[in-house]
Amino acid sequence: MTADLSASDDTPLRADARRNRDQIIGAAKKMFAERGPDVPMEEIARRAEVGVGTLYRRFPDRDALIRAVVRDNMADALAYARAAAVEEPTGWSALVRLLSHSTELGLSVRLSMLSPTVRKTLHGDPVLRELRSALLTAFETIVGTAQAEGSLRTDVSASDVAIVYALLLRQPQTMADSTAQLATGRALALVLEGLRARPDAPPDALPGRRLTAADLLLD
């Protein structure tokens, strides 16, 4: 899924190794999303159908794995956001598409927001910094477009949207999957309703000030 935005390694990696690497990242992504950043390495390996040794050869420690997962995830989210911006006819529909689909974006945001430890790990990674800034730019484009066309209320910033989004994405895990999905869908629809521009409403109804990129993640 990920383009090679990471610093190109010198050795091209053997075919099976590459496959295993991808499986590991995929498994780790799911496990992190479901059970937080502390899942045992061994379980990740098992889910990836790989030995622990393999996992450790590819990623020297947990931090490296987390970084890789978040990078991969961010890259996916970025691709998705850009696609939405380009392919959708209106800013509003791009916004809807962005918010509706991407569990992708959710994971990395959630991961990096929830645990102080993880934040420390991610902190200062240059690739991530670049990805994040690109993602925020994409977000801003969409939000800007939607606001310019008069469909999105103007007293929110891209960061506002991102945060609400992140808050909503945490899926309740105790319900049946179908129920959880239903609930998330409805919650999302409600938020979108709240985000819609109202010609009659006062222009600055929200409390406080617009959130900024700096509020989003403090490095």
Residue written as token pair 């945490």: 170
CA dist., res. 107 & res. 214, Å (int): 20
DSSP E strand stretches across 31-102: none
In the complex, which residues of this chain contact DNA (CB under 7 A)? 11, 13-17, 20, 38, 40-42, 49-54, 56-58, 60-62
Tokens of 123: 């902190």
Q: Among 1, 51, 190, 204, which residue sits at the site for a copy of itself (rule: CB under 8 A)?
A: 190
Q: In whole angstroms, what is the distance from residue 34 CA to residue 108 CA?
A: 12
Partner whose footprint covers residue 17, from DNA, a copy of itself, none (CB < 5 to 8 Å by kind): DNA
Number of residues counted as binding a copy of itself (CB under 8 A)? 42
Q: Note the residue count of the chain.
A: 219
Closer of 35 and 198 to DNA (Cβ): 35
- Nearest distance, CB of residue 113 and a copy of itself, angstroms: 4
Q: Which amino acid is at 20?
A: N
Which of 13, 64, 90, 179 touches a copy of itself (CB under 8 A)? 179
User: 148 vs 201, which CB is nearer to a copy of itself?
Assistant: 201
Which is it for the CA torsion 94, 98, 99, 101, positive or negative?
A: positive
Establish if 105 lies at the interface with a copy of itself (CB under 8 A): no
How far are the Cα atoms of 18, 75, 106, 212 from residue 72, in angstroms, in the given order?
14, 5, 13, 24
**CA 51/CA 43 separation, integer angstroms:** 10
Q: Which of 73, 112, 121, 147 lies at the binding interface for a copy of itself (CB under 8 A)? A: 112
Q: Could you give the string, one character per residue 116-135, with x where binding to a copy of itself holds by CB under 8 A and - elsewhere? A: x--x----------------
Report the residue number, 19 or 170, with the smaller CB distance to DNA.
19
- Site for a copy of itself contains 206 (CB under 8 A): yes
Amino acid, single-letter form, for residue 46:
R
Amino acid at residue number 16: D
Residue 39 binds a copy of itself, judged by CB under 8 A: no
Q: What's the N-to-C CA distance of the chain in angstroms? A: 27
Give me 85's structure tokens.
Answer: 């911006």
- Tell me whether residue 12 or residue 207 sits nearer to DNA (CB atom): 12
Q: Which residues bind a copy of itself (CB under 8 A)?
A: 112-116, 119, 156, 160, 163-164, 166-168, 170, 172-176, 179, 182-187, 189-195, 205-209, 211, 215, 217-218
